[in-house]
């Protein structure tokens, strides 16, 4: 009986998942505006408790001439409130430069950020904020680790084009 009980418990504890891959592609739309700045973008995984389960990428003005690129990180409001304000930037493997309009793909193969995640339901969140422009947040619910190869996507209306995520076990 005792053995059975401990097996049941370990099932509930959701052991860390085995290696699985995630590929995210993000369209940054070309906008016809008088003053254009490439958007700041944050990409993270959120648990059902709205807590950040994994920080995946942050694109910001890392190489700002006056070294004040971090001054606008707070404009990624949800990311800033949930995790950004607790982090030190730049951070290896997380932060990189802003991207020009077009499609950008980032891959997480056997990634450290995802390897230790408990299996369960998550939301992939992509937030974009543009200087003298707007802000947009897209959410894609997904299961991690994936049981089978899956493609999911969401379409932005203002600051983001299509965001697609491909996961495979």
Partner 1 sequence: MKSVIRTAAVLALSAVVPVAAHAHKAWLLPSSTVLSGKDEIAVTVDAAASNDLFYFDHRPLRLESLVVTGPDGAKVEPENKSTGKYRSTFDLPLKAPGTYRIALVMDGASARYKEDGKEKRWRGRAEDMAKEIPASATDLVVTQNVRRIETFVTSGSPDDAALKPTANGLELQPVTHPNDLVANSEAEFKLVLDGKPAPGVKVEIVRGGIRYRNQLGETTVTTDDNGVFKYTWPEPGMYWLEANVSDDKATLEDAKERRAGYAATLEVLPE
Interface residues with partner 1 (CB under 8 A) are 67-68, 70-74, 77-78, 80-81, 84-86
Q: Which of 22, 16, 41 is nearest to 111 (CA)?
A: 22
**Residue closer to partner 1, measured from CB, 26 or 83:** 83
**Closest separation in Å from C-beta 89 to partner 1:** 9
**Residue closer to partner 1, measured from CB, 80 or 108:** 80
Q: What is the DSSP letter of 50?
A: S
**Closest separation in Å from C-beta 38 to partner 1:** 18
**Residue closer to partner 1, measured from CB, 35 or 86:** 86
**Closest separation in Å from C-beta 90 to partner 1:** 12
Q: What DSSP string describes 120-161? A: EEEEEEEEEE-TTS-EEEEEEEEEES-SS-EEEEEE-SSS--
Q: Which residues contact 10 (CB under 8 A, 6 or more apart)?
A: none
**Closest separation in Å from C-beta 127 to partner 1:** 11
Neighbouring C-beta atoms of residue 123, cutoff 10 Å: 16
Is the Cβ–Cβ distance between 134 and 86 less than 8 Å? no
Owner of token pair 């499609």: 103
**Residue closer to partner 1, measured from CB, 59 or 80:** 80
């Amino acid at each position: 009986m005792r053995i059975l009980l401990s097996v049941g418990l370990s099932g509930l504890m959701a052991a860390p998942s085995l290696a699985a891959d995630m590929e995210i592609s993000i369209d940054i739309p070309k906008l016809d505006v008088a003053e254009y700045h490439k958007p700041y973008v944050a990409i993270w995984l959120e648990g059902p408790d709205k807590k950040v389960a994994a920080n995946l990428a942050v694109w910001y003005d890392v190489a700002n001439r006056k070294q004040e690129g971090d001054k606008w990180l707070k404009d990624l409001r949800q990311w800033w409130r949930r995790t950004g304000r607790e982090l030190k930037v730049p951070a290896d493997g997380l932060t990189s430069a802003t991207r020009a309009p077009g499609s950008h793909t980032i891959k997480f193969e056997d990634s450290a950020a995802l390897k230790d995640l408990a299996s369960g339901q998550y939301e992939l969140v992509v937030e974009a904020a543009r200087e003298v422009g707007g802000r947009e947040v897209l959410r894609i619910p997904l299961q991690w680790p994936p049981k089978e190869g899956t493609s999911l996507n969401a379409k932005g209306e203002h600051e983001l084009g299509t965001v697609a995520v491909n996961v495979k076990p």
